[in-house]
Amino acid sequence: MLHEYTVDPDSLASFNELWQALEQFGVSHGRLLVECPKSWWKKVKQNLNDVERRLPPMAYKQMEERFSRLKEQRKLIRRRNLQFDGNLPFPQALAAEHQSRPFRAVIQLDPSEGSAVPVLSKYDLHDGNILWKVPRSLAVPKTAKHLCEAVAPLLKISSDFLLIDPYFASRPEAYRSIPAMLRTAMGDDRPLSRIEIHTGTKGTESFIRDKFRAVQAPHLPTGLQIRIFQWEQREGGERLHDRYLLTDRGGVSSSYGWDCGDDGVTTEISLLDDATFIRQKGHYQEPGGPFHLVRKFTIQT
């Protein structure tokens, strides 16, 4: 559902099809852009400066605006210990990196043959190409392992973890996916800025605490601060029903929730478009959202 690409920065030395393609990156599109090499931003900025004198003012302004949006929307990610041989042409420079951590494709302006890394040129950036087209949803067995694997690419690049499920409050013990997802999110010693569970009111604070400490806490590192928010529907307002995982990068929905089910039961996990992600994340801020906050408390592992 989320796939990693990289773009040759030297292919962005003029206003071309690749600049337009960069608008199709981000969690909502299922495509993540890896900074390769580590000086990717610097190279693209230098290319932008070099073409300023050669381009008509309007064309340069469009390039500059796309560059700014790319930074603001946090569509790029970094890999630790990136292998990049600067003495080789792109994409050959990424052969070793691709072997250990495969890219879906390397994107450059013109076609290339004989590369060990899949290459997409400006002619390939359409849904008819299997390397460019990515699914935005998938059916996932409702086990802790499969739920975690489905959202792992998002968790590994995020610092916020907001799990939305109105039914968590009534049966916290069924949500064995939560420890697996949190451990994935904190892999490589990455801290999380926010860990929150937003749920309904069919479960008291003491009930939720007891169940969480018995089932989830033994599988989590000590010292985590997990904030629990219990919401209820306002009279005549929106129903508290949908299930999401929201981060600082984007979000996904789960049609059948984040609890673990019987064998053979699946849930449809789908990427949220940008507008839906922004709207839903705003719903669970206080005050002023569509739901009434009944109580909030913190569980420490």
Residue 190 to residue 43: CA distance in whole angstroms: 27
Residue 261 to residue 194: CA distance in whole angstroms: 27
Q: Smallest Cα–Cα separation from 29: which of 140, 104, 111?
A: 104
CATH architecture of the domain 3-120 equals 3-Layer(aba) Sandwich (3.40)
List C-alpha distances in Å: 296 to 116, 175, 226, 284. Answer: 52, 19, 11, 12
- pLDDT tens for 72-107 read 777 889 898 999 999 998 999 999 999 999 999 999
pLDDT band for position 33 (cuts 50, 70, 90): very high
List C-alpha distances in Å: 116 to 60, 86, 251, 294. Answer: 34, 16, 33, 56
Residue 165 to residue 199: CA distance in whole angstroms: 5
pTM (two decimals): 0.91
- pLDDT for position 234: 87
Residue 46: count of CB within 10 angstroms of its CB: 13
- Same fold for the pair 3-120 and 137-300: no
Enter the CATH code of domain 137-300: 3.30.870.30
Residue 21 to residue 75: CA distance in whole angstroms: 12
Q: Which of 82-86, 109-113, 163-167, 290-294 has the lowest mean pLDDT?
A: 109-113
Instruction: Select, from the ranges 56-70, 206-220, 275-289, the one with the highest average predicted confidence (pLDDT).
Output: 206-220
Query: What average pLDDT does range 234-245 have in this prediction?
Result: 88
Q: Smallest Cα–Cα separation from 149: which of 173, 175, 183, 172?
A: 183
For the chain, state the CA radius of gyration.
Answer: 22
Beta carbons within 8 Å of 133's beta carbon, 6+ residues apart: 127
- pLDDT tens for 243-269 read 999 999 999 999 999 999 888 899 999
For a pLDDT cut of 90, what percent of the chain falls above it? 70
Task: Give the start-to-end residue ranges of the domains of the chain.
Answer: 3-120, 137-300
